[in-house]
Structure 1
């Protein structure tokens, strides 16, 4: 069996790498576009790059069949290596186009998102099948903490580099970071867990026959509804409040990464001690409080960099703790014979619900304003908190 430490190190690097592309797309580029005068509706167009993450379940069975061949064995490393190289090339293409060519840079980032989402299928499947139940908390912490660190690099350090070097050089550096983060997994001598040759072939049909999968989809959709809909508003709001790109980059990067990682570790510890539901509820209610505070700040046209920055990083920390608990609940519900397919369905539910909310924000955000949008998101979060215990029992 693979060493738990080597598994966590390898998948941790991949989770960070995947989130670098996400950070560039969902945090870095929106702030750059807003600085150049783009509307929220134009920024929402870029967020279409989340589509591969929303619908990767369509090709997840094919990737799992390649990764886990019928004759037995495990091809996780070749799958990650080939698809990961496509992701690096896509980021290089985005560097050579630039945000002034919105259609071209969006197309490049869609390819990058497709590659990143595909690597995630293999990575999640490998993590679930390689970590025993007692070690899965570390896997969840690597997943969520890695996502925050990658977002900090892509949405934080990236903005600082743009201020200093410009779009092309900053994005090329991100491509190099992406390649380096995949090396611990690709160069590891840790043995891969062999796949049973007599196992049922991975398929969506097999996934949808299982009650645990339907439970997971419903739970993810509900939780994202309460936690994430306001997320896309925060960076443009900070820009409109007069905060510089460098300061936003510092908040997303060094400070945000630290708070997110601490939140993930605390979430893992609290989940082990108290269980998943209490941690998910506490995180959700804390997010409601932060979002309501942002609504009040927007209504009062409050422009304190320190105060608004504190609210932004608090949102990251409490979300990290909640999603560690959520995915700890879901990891045990994925079948070991097709963990990549089952876990992908959970993540696609996350992406679809997020995309719906973000597009609604883009369509109505300019008309309603930040105060109303943050306020509506906080009210939705309260409704989700009321429903969550019943869904968890179901």
Structure 2
């Protein structure tokens, strides 16, 4: 019988970090984190340094919405085999490798495209990187959930966050340092080369065992019923519709059946948990630059030092989830994320003050590291092993869509009002997340062990 979280010793809680699937997530987390800043804050720093207007930079944040609509092609990643690659590597690893190749190609394209006078091409290559990155995320999330039991998911989420932050460090501080000492062209070419870390991990680690029948929709009751009642229809049409039912319909109906009337509340909570953090992210680097901080200072404080803090927050979050459970930490994470965003408002009012920048980065990254590890563990607990890729893509897409959409208007609000007003408003957006986190914490059935099968 599994030991309840609250009864586990600290030693037993720490031992989980030495398991091979947990360590693997360090490298896959790096692969997932590397592209993100390169189409988001690092790209915004490049655009601002090149003289692009703040309002235009704000709209570039909408490129990140590709991460929020990945649920639309997640069923393809979940079920469609790639010629040659899937036979050699398996479903998850083949899609990861293809996505990484797309990311590298997009980064090379960005490296070859100066922003001024070429914003359309810059946007196009950034979209290619974001599409490859979102596709990689779908495959990595499924790989993670299928690689270990539920009691290891919090630790895997924690090491994933550590690796992810390391990827952010490379794409943030690393790219800024290279840009400051060499050029932006060299920075993006270097980042394209670092995609090889993920590729090597995919080739070295084995494909996880998938649940029997998860790749065969004909085994699901809804599919069997359709095939039974459509014998008079053309064979090709029947199998196409059967695939749609098994790959798209069943993952969604499974979640609604398991949670009933609470489903809408859960979806609302997923949508607002990170809205405060995501809504303000696009204006962080423009704030630092407009306050007068140098690229070297931004790289040192907000990336190297900041990511060290977020790694600490991620480790702490993963450890506390193993020790105390998910529910209480969801409340803590939501509150910390909301409150630490106010530090950016204070920084914007104080000006070019290095100590305040350090305090802001400490608070923001500790809070986000902890909240991210806890929330990944929460989303994993909601996911049925029969539909890992599609269901988790639904959750992670919903998690980022509202914040990414609002982030696109950040530049307009800053120009119309001020940075301080923008960050205060972004902080207030976190109030619904705190209220819904309290509700989730009070009802343990909402984040209990997910159903083993989505068949109904």
Normalising by structure 1, what TM-score? 0.91
Contact kept, 8 Å, 2:95 with 2:136, in 1: the verdict is yes
1:46 equivalenced with 2:60 (yes/no): yes
Q: Count the aligned residue pairs.
A: 389
Q: 2:137 aligns with which of 120, 125, 143?
A: 120
The answer for the alignment partner of 2:94 in structure 1 is 78
**Correspondence for 1:193:** 209
How far residue 356 of structure 1 moved from its aligned partner, in angstroms, is 1.8
Deviation at 1:206?
1.4
1:233-252 per-residue CA deviation (whole Å, 9 max, x = no partner) reads 22111111111111111223
Q: Is the 8 A contact 1:67 1:76 kept in 2?
A: no
Structure 1 residue aligned with 2:275, among 225, 230, 240?
Answer: 225
1:35 aligns with 2:35: no
Q: Which residue of 2 aligns with 1:26?
A: 40
Asked if 2 retains the 8 angstrom alpha-carbon contact of 1:227 and 1:284, the reply is: no
| 1:214 shift after superposition | 5.3
Deviations along 1:260-295, one digit per CA (max 9) or x if unpaired, are: 111100001112222223222223323333222322
Q: Deviations over 1:205-242 (max 9, x none)?
A: 11221235755532221211233322222211111111
- Whole-angstrom distance in 2 between the partners of 1:192 and 1:383: 37
2:395 paired residue number: 346
Preserved CA contact (<8 Å) 2:93 2:207: no
CA RMSD, aligned part only?
Answer: 2.5
Q: Distance in 2 between matches of 1:90 and 1:68?
A: 21
Is 1:384 matched up with 2:425?
no
The match for 2:249 is 205
- Aligned pair in 2 of structure 1 residues 127, 383: CA closer, same or farther (>3 Å)? closer
- Residues 67, 256 of structure 1: CA spacing in aligned structure 2 closer, same or farther, 3 A cutoff? farther
Choose the corresponding residue for 2:327, options 262, 268, 277. 277
Cα offset, 1:29, TM superposition: 1.4
- Supply the distance in 1 between the matched residues of 2:207 and 2:418 (Cα, whole angstroms): 53
**What CA distance in whole angstroms lies between the structure 1 residues aligned with 2:366 and 2:142?**
26
Check if 1:268 corresponds to 2:282: no
Partner of 1:333: 382
Q: Are the counterparts in 2 of residues 20 and 151 from structure 1 also a CA contact under 8 Å?
A: yes
Counterpart of 1:174?
Answer: 191
Offset of 1:328 from its aligned partner? Answer: 1.0
The Cα shift of 1:116 comes to: 1.2
Once residues 219 and 327 of structure 1 are traced to their aligned partners in structure 2, the CA distance between those partners, rounded to angstroms, is: 13
Q: Is the aligned partner of 1:165 residue 2:194?
A: no
- Mapped contact 1:63–1:122 kept (Cα < 8 A): yes
Cα shift readout 1:155-200 (whole Å, capped 9, x = no counterpart): 2211111001101111100000112233122223x35314524554
The question of 1:248 aligning with 2:298 is answered: yes
1:391 Cα offset (Å):
4.7
Q: Identify if the C-alpha distance between structure 1 residues 337 and 383 changes in structure 2 by more than 3 Å, giving closer, same or farther.
A: closer
Higher mean Cα deviation, 13-22 or 208-217? 208-217
Paired with 1:383 and 1:54, the residues of 2 have a C-alpha distance of 20
Contact 2:67 2:130 in 1 (8 A): yes
SS at match of 2:195: helix
Matched position secondary structure for 1:37: coil
Q: Give the Å deviation of 1:104.
A: 0.9
Indicate yes or no: 2:412 matched with 1:363: yes
Where does residue 57 of structure 1 map in the other structure? 71
Q: Where in structure 1 are there 5+ consecutive unaligned residues?
A: none
Question: 8 Å contact 1:229–1:377 — kept in the other structure?
Answer: yes
* Distance in 2 of aligned mates of 1:347 and 1:67: 23
Are 1:40 and 1:362, in contact at CA under 8 Å, matched by a contact in 2?
A: yes
2:6 aligns with: none
Are 2:154 and 2:376, in contact at CA under 8 Å, matched by a contact in 1? no
